[in-house]
A and B are shown apart, each in its own frame.
Chain A
Amino acid sequence: MNRLSAFSFFLLSTFFLTNCNQSGSDTASGDKPVIGVTMLSMQNEFIVNVSDEIDKKAEEAGVELITVDAERSALKQIEQVESFIAQGVDAIIMNPCEVEASSPAVAKALAAGIPIINVNSATATKPSAFVGSDDVESARIAMKYIAEKLGGKGNVIMIHGYMGQAAQIQREQGAREILKNYPDLKLLASQTGEWDRAKAMSLMENWIQSYGSQINAVFAHNDEMGMGAMKALTDAGLKDKILVVSIDAIPDALQAVQKGTLDATVYQNAKQQGSQAIETALKILNKQPYEQEVLIPFQLVTKQNVAEFVK
């Protein structure tokens, strides 16, 4: 009986101690700062790269991380941020699932006085800081490349990401901006490939049936879909005649660019996004001046410069 109560006292005291520790860490500057990180989806290679870089930089800076996967659910993401707030973290890095639906998470963190940094994509509610790249710009780069290669004239097909997601909306917007500047560049058809390689491949096969050699170029919102379209074109023996450009510069795509099967991809710097996110967080915590919007520039990757990007 005695031993039991002693044990429960021990449990209780540890609980209180650790709890005090956590809530006290705001003020205790000597303690390791704790940063909560919620990522869109750990099933996406690009996101995993960003997350890996955050991990790496955090270790170097001696920051403790709590990293969670929102599995593409904005609701889950909000709950994760709520639990970060309850745990009393010092700062939050969020890779938002959706523009509108993830916004309450930002508002909640700010209301709790915890700085929140959006990485990679934006929310409607303005966070403490944004680190990422302007998705609109990436599509502009890709489409401009197509326009120049075709001499401003020809038929283009666009494969969308998941309809309604920030990246899809912005990449479509960028592509259309460029198309407007080239009146002879015609958008023949567009459809969603849901970011998926197999889906984009089937889509492309069907388009080859209906348009065949009328198509001059394909713009896919990400490399996975670009690779799928490229596979379908290769199988149909049309790859030599049709330009394929996509975004993200995943290793597969870089390899394809090197081989010359994929014409171009747009490099979004995952490493920079990850490291800048941590740096900005630390600046805020150390009350140093920081930029509210850190934009990492995109780079067009073609056969000429692909060597720089291949690890």
Chain B
Amino acid sequence: MKQLVTSLYNQAGTSYKKRVQGIGTYGILLAFIVICVALALSTPRFLTVSNLTIIVTQVSINALLAFGVTFVIITGGIDLSLGSLVAVTGVVAAMFAHPDTFPLIVPLVFALGAGLLMGGFNGLVITKSKVPPFIVTLGTMTIGRGLALILSKGRPISNLSDSFNFIGGGKILGIPFPIIILLIVFVACSLLLRKTIWGRYMYAVGGNEQAARASGIPVEKIKMLVYMLSGTLAGLAGLVLTARITTGQPNAGQGFELDAIAAAIIGGTSTSGGSGSMTGTLIGALLIGVISNGLDLLNVTSYYQQVVMGVIIIGAVILDGLNRKAA
């Protein structure tokens, strides 16, 4: 069992720091597998193709946001505006997605563009004003929510075209479209982080900003890049959510940023910057999704669900910490 876990984890790739040290820690993957096994043993409904498909579909929105925020956290920043960006971009998409009005490309481009723009705004303010990202994105969190309410006049926008709704509910070869998006984005983000100079620069900026600058790295451009990535991915998440519930909702996405940050941190991204991996984040998001799905299957009361979720999150992170210390 242990061997299997280790080899799986090594295949999946470890976070930067661990990889550099040549030590495979596998706390989170282990926790994830333990929880999956426990759930599979306690309910026969858990380990079925349809249930697993549903889990991944449900996880896709959080995972998209978590990938974005992983870039940001690796550079030592934070993005609290994600939930609001999901709402704004969802509303923008819905405004242009009524049947027989605009071609499908219009809501797609507008939603992603809105995310890119808001993310760019975050990045610009953070790099130019030197105000901490926590404060800036706290501001855009409120601005975004306000914009979503203004654009939608406080009401949900429904009656969206079927082709648009396909993004959230359609299937290709039996695979839900959100899962396909998730996989493509995961591969793209992993490559960007691990194989390109920009990914390397992100680690450098988060590891030691001064040293990164002194090494000739365009620190400000990298920061702009990560907030723009984060915003665009929030736009994509907004599209998926809107298409999934077939409505653009101004109050959608509340608290999504916290789930996304939780997924990244559970996945081993250090809040102080400089380390983290997309694989870890994906496992983190799946862990959260599996716990929520499993507790629903077991019909655990929502009061207990919240407690259990919190305990598991803290436990998983402690486990990971112990593993690192032991290494």
CB within 8 Å of B: which residues of A?
42-45, 48, 160, 163, 189, 191-192, 196-198, 201-203, 205-207, 209-210, 224, 227-228, 231, 235, 250-252, 255
Contacts and interface: CB of A to CB of B under 8 A. Distances in A.
Interface in B180-230: none
Task: Sort A-B residue pairs by CB-CB distance and give the 7 closest, nearest first.
Answer: A206-B296, A43-B251, A192-B302, A209-B51, A210-B297, A197-B245, A210-B45
A43 B245 contact: no
A43 B249 CA distance: 10
Given A189-B299, A198-B245, A201-B245, A206 B156 contact: no
B245 A206 contact: no
A138 B301 CA distance: 24
Given A202-B58, A205-B58, A191 B245 contact: no
Contacts of A189: 299
B312 interface: no
A152 B54 CA distance: 32
Contacts of B156: 45, 224, 250, 252
A214 to B, nearest CB: 12
B13 interface: no
A165 B292 CA distance: 22
Contacts of B158: 251-252, 255
B53 to A, nearest CB: 10
B51 A191 contact: no
A163 B48 CA distance: 31
Interface in B8-53: 43, 45, 48, 50-51
Nearest to B301: A191
Contacts, number: 75
Contact of B169 (A209, A227, A235, A250): A235
B149 interface: yes
A198 B154 contact: no
Nearest to B155: A45
Contacts of A255: 158-159
B98 interface: no
Contacts of B247: 197, 227, 252
B246 interface: yes
Contacts of B51: 206, 209
Contacts of B292: 202, 206
A55 to B, nearest CB: 13
Contact of A206 (B159, B252, B293): B293
A5 to B, nearest CB: 39
Nearest to B255: A194
Nearest to B298: A210
A201 B302 contact: no
B236 to A, nearest CB: 15
Which of A43, A160, A192: most chain B CB closer than 10 A?
A: A43
A42 B154 contact: yes
A147 B61 CA distance: 37
Given A163-B302, A191-B302, A201 B244 contact: yes
B149 A43 contact: yes
Contact of A163 (B250, B252, B299, B303): B303
A203 B296 contact: yes
Contacts of B251: 43-44
B287 interface: no
B296 A191 contact: yes
B66 interface: no
Interface string B246-287: 110111100000000000000000000000000000000000
Given A192-B302, A198-B241, A231-B245, A209 B155 contact: no
A42 B149 contact: yes
A203 B54 CA distance: 11
B43 to A, nearest CB: 7
B296 A210 contact: yes
Contacts of A235: 169
Contacts of A202: 58, 292
Given A48-B154, A252-B156, A210 B250 contact: no
Interface string B280-318: 000000000000110011010111000000000000000
A43 B154 contact: yes
Contacts of B48: 209
Given A198-B244, A228-B245, 11 more contacts: A45-B154, A48-B154, A163-B302, A163-B303, A198-B61, A198-B241, A201-B245, A202-B292, A227-B247, A235-B169, A255-B159
Contacts of A252: 156, 158, 247
Nearest to A212: B45
Nearest to A162: B302
A165 to B, nearest CB: 13
Given A197-B249, A198-B244, A198-B245, A209 B54 contact: yes
Contacts of A43: 149, 154, 250-251
B297 A198 contact: no
Contacts of A205: 54, 57-58
A192 B250 CA distance: 20
22 contacts: A43-B149, A44-B251, A45-B154, A45-B155, A48-B155, A191-B299, A191-B301, A191-B302, A198-B241, A198-B245, A201-B245, A205-B57, A206-B297, A207-B296, A209-B45, A209-B51, A210-B45, A227-B245, A231-B169, A235-B169, A252-B158, A252-B247
A210 B43 CA distance: 9
